[in-house]
Amino acid sequence: MTDMKKQQELMEMIERLLAGNVDVARDDSPHGTRDEELQKLMSLAEELSAGKAEPTPEFEERLEGRLAELMAESAVPDKAEADARGARTASSDSGKVRWAPSWLTMPRIAAVAAALVISLGLVGVTGALIRGGYQGKTSAETSAVSQNRATENGTLSKEQTADSPAPQGTVESAVGDASGFAAPGGTAASDGAGESTVAPLPSSQRIIQTADYRIEIVPGEFDDKYAQISAVAIKYGGYVVSGDTRMGNDGLKNGSISIRVANTSDNFTKAQAEIDGLGNVTSRKISGQDVTEEYVDLQSRLRNAEAQEAQYLALMQRAQTIEEILSVQSRLAQVQSEIEQIKGRMKYMEGRTDFATISIDLRETGEGTTADDGGTDWGFVDSIRYAGWLAVQTVNFVIVALGVLVPLVILGGGLALLIYRVIQKRRAGRNNGA
Amino acid sequence: MLPDKPAARSSSFGKMDFEEIYRGFVRPVYAFVAYRIDSRSDAEDVTATTFEKAWRASGRFDPAKGSVSTWIFTIARNCLNDHLRSQSRRPSTVELDEEQQDGVESDPVEQFQAQEMRRELRDALGSLSANEREVVALKFGGSLNNREIGRLLNITESNVGTILYRSLMKLKNQLEGGIEND
């Protein structure tokens, strides 16, 4: 047998062995007679795989406790991590600061002080300008904003999460889990959902599917379309994950809604077609990630493990002595824990693939009820008034800044002069001494 | 803009998802680590650090870039390497609880033989290069398939197979050599 061929054969055997459907002692090589060397390598591989260490239950318990603690203290891992990073950078920066007395000469101190005063002045003036601009505009905007708030709080507070029932919300499946892991197994397709759930995808196909839409609609249609999208979710055995609605300054509504539809044969396509018809689709992004391979791997491993479990259970029935029972029991426990592991991973994948996600950004475009954002506020008189206001603000700022800076400059200058004198005196004394 | 874009949501796990990941991977990760570190308490430390780090980094996990197994084992490898580096700076100590628990064989003779075999195997593993040891640990400890190992180590699947074959041959020769020497 050539090396390459032997190698390949071995690799296949190892894969099967790890999947649990090969007995090393039995000769089931494709050639009928297994090469002795191959046999040795196989038992070695089995030994390696069977000899792997298992964590003690006490350790697992401890670790679980620790993780639960961690999860409780930082619900948002990103932020905790970012904070930690921020703290690290800050501390390392402070470590870098070094005091270099030899640089401290009078002219340098003076130059730095001057630069400081100038930059402070600049920052101040800019700040005043910006603040002025903001305040100048606010008065015009405040009324509009408060008006909007009022409407939003009134009729428009339509923040939906998956926990709250969808607008049509009588169908059970419309209530989902915000984490996106609800109802694995593809059975969430509701009973009362009309033509939903067709035959499920062939079990060999596992695809994480998502679609992102941006749709423009005619003003006034928002609520209608929003409800239609929710209906699509329910019709195709899914639910509304989240949604929100906003009213712009121009009186036009916009918002986004995210739905999940049961990922059965052509549900995703049909749902897309319905959403396509809602309005002017300005962008559509569809993506799919095929995780079939990984899933099939898991399936076959599960089958094998379960077959093994059945065998051990049968053996257990026939076990006579306590020794035999104990021996079978420990192997059974090992297989069962493996089954749990595999099932956990499969469940995770199923949750990701049983539902396709469609996110829609919906906005009304066209003539609003009022003109563009603050566009009419800018008259000639306004500009002059604003300029005058800014001039006064600038003068005010300079006065305040001077009030703060003058005592400081006097104090610092006096101190510097004193030190300078002392140094000169000493130098003169030294020269005299020489 | 869209609060619930799929990429955004799936890139930060909820607690439930993380628990599933933990349940699915704690044993393979521990077994992988234990293949590289003899001391049980150290292996436990590295495993714990791996999952703590994974939780902290779960916000940055992007399923588009790779599977969960590759992700979690990447973290495990980093933690392990950190540990091995810190170990190399410390004088090595022999721990008493060196023997990893197997608990499969109930017959004392069988148990003894199995232990003996494993001790020899561990010694033989020392003859492998760091790279080979890692592939063996991922394969037989972490229960990853060659494709996953390839992705993790950035080498081709067939390359993984070659390394595994070479490692097994080395181990076999080492074990036979050991028997002859006895």
Do B174 and B124 touch, CB atoms closer than 8 A?
A: yes
Cβ <8 Å between B121 and A357: no
Amino acid B22: pLDDT: 86
User: What's the CA angle centered on A298, arms A294 and A300, to 5 degrees?
Assistant: 120
User: Shortest CB distance from B3 goes to which of A14, A256, A357?
Assistant: A256
What tens-digit pLDDT sequence spans chain A (434 residues)? Answer: 566 777 777 777 777 666 655 554 444 545 544 567 777 788 888 878 777 778 888 888 888 888 888 877 765 444 444 444 444 433 333 333 334 444 555 666 666 667 776 766 666 655 555 554 444 443 333 333 333 433 333 333 333 333 333 333 323 333 333 333 333 333 333 333 333 334 444 556 788 888 888 998 888 888 888 888 988 888 888 888 888 888 877 788 888 888 888 887 688 888 888 888 888 888 888 888 888 888 888 888 899 999 989 888 888 888 888 888 888 888 888 889 889 888 988 888 887 788 888 889 888 887 654 444 444 455 778 788 889 999 999 999 999 999 999 999 999 999 999 999 999 998 888 776 54
Query: What's the rounded mean pLDDT across residues B156-170?
Result: 88
Q: How far is B157 from chain A (nearest CA, A)?
A: 11
Measured CA to CA, the distance from residue A333 to residue A346 in angstroms comes to 20
User: Shortest CB distance from A77 goes to which of B1, B55, B171?
Assistant: B55
Cβ <8 Å between A181 and B14: yes
DSSP state of B3: T
B 4-33 → A contacts, CB under 8 A:
4-7, 9-10, 12, 14-18, 20-24, 26-28, 30-31
Question: Considering only CB atoms, which chain A residues are within 8 Å of B161?
Answer: 7-8, 11
Pick from B23, B175, B148: nearest CA to A68: B23
Amino acid A124: pLDDT: 61
How many residues in total does chain B contain?
Answer: 182
Cβ <8 Å between B172 and A331: no
Measured CA to CA, the distance from residue B56 to residue B48 in angstroms comes to 12
User: Nearest residue of A to residue B35 by CA position?
Assistant: A52
Amino acid A78: pLDDT: 46
Measured CA to CA, the distance from residue B5 to residue A358 in angstroms comes to 8
Judged against a pLDDT cut of 80, whether residue B142 lies above it is answered with yes
* pLDDT more than 90, % of chain B: 8
Strand A207-217 relative to strand A355-364, pairing: parallel
B 87-126 → A contacts, CB under 8 A:
100-107, 114, 117-118, 121
User: What's the CA angle centered on B39, arms B36 and B42, to 5 degrees?
Assistant: 85
> At residue A295, what is the residue type?
Y
Amino acid A407: pLDDT: 92
Cβ <8 Å between A334 and B104: yes
- Rg of chain B in Å (alpha carbons): 19
Per-position DSSP letters for A350-397, written without gaps between them: HHHHSEEEEEEEEEE-S--SS-STTGGG--HHHHHHHHHHHHHHHHHH
Q: Where in chain B is the domain with CATH 1.10.1740.10?
A: 1-98
B32, B100, B106: which to substitute to probe chain A, counting the most A Cβ within 10 Å? B106
Amino acid A402: pLDDT: 92
Cβ <8 Å between B12 and A78: yes
Tell me which residue has tokens 């009324």: A143
The complex's ipTM?
0.72
Pick from B11, B34, B33, B15: nearest CA to B23: B15
> At residue A77, what is the residue type?
P
User: Nearest residue of A to residue B111 by CA position?
Assistant: A327
Measured CA to CA, the distance from residue B12 to residue B57 in angstroms comes to 9
pLDDT tens digits for B24-71?
889 899 999 988 887 888 888 999 999 988 888 877 777 667 788 888
The pTM (predicted TM-score) of the whole model is 0.40
- Report domain extents, chain A: 3-50, 101-154+379-434, 156-376
Cβ <8 Å between B23 and A326: no
Q: Where in chain B is the domain with CATH 1.10.10.10?
A: 107-182
DSSP state of B141: I
Do B133 and B84 touch, CB atoms closer than 8 A?
A: no
Measured CA to CA, the distance from residue B26 to residue B29 in angstroms comes to 5
Per-residue H/E/C for B41-101 = HHHHHHHHHHHHHHHHHHHHCCCCCCCHHHHHHHHHHHHHHHHHHHHHHCCCCCCHHHCCC
Q: Does A341 touch chain B (CB under 8 A)?
A: yes
Judged against a pLDDT cut of 60, whether residue B8 lies above it is answered with no
Cβ <8 Å between A52 and B140: yes
What CATH number should be reported for the domain whose range is B107-182?
1.10.10.10
Q: Does A294 touch chain B (CB under 8 A)?
A: yes
Strand A280-290 relative to strand A207-217, pairing: antiparallel
Q: Report residue B89's pLDDT band, with 50, 70 and 90 as the boundaries.
A: low
Cβ <8 Å between A181 and B175: no
Phi and psi angles of residue B148, each rounded to the nearest 5 degrees, phi first: -65, -40
- Helix, strand and coil in chain B, % to nearest 5: 75, 0, 25
What CATH number should be reported for the domain whose range is B1-98?
1.10.1740.10
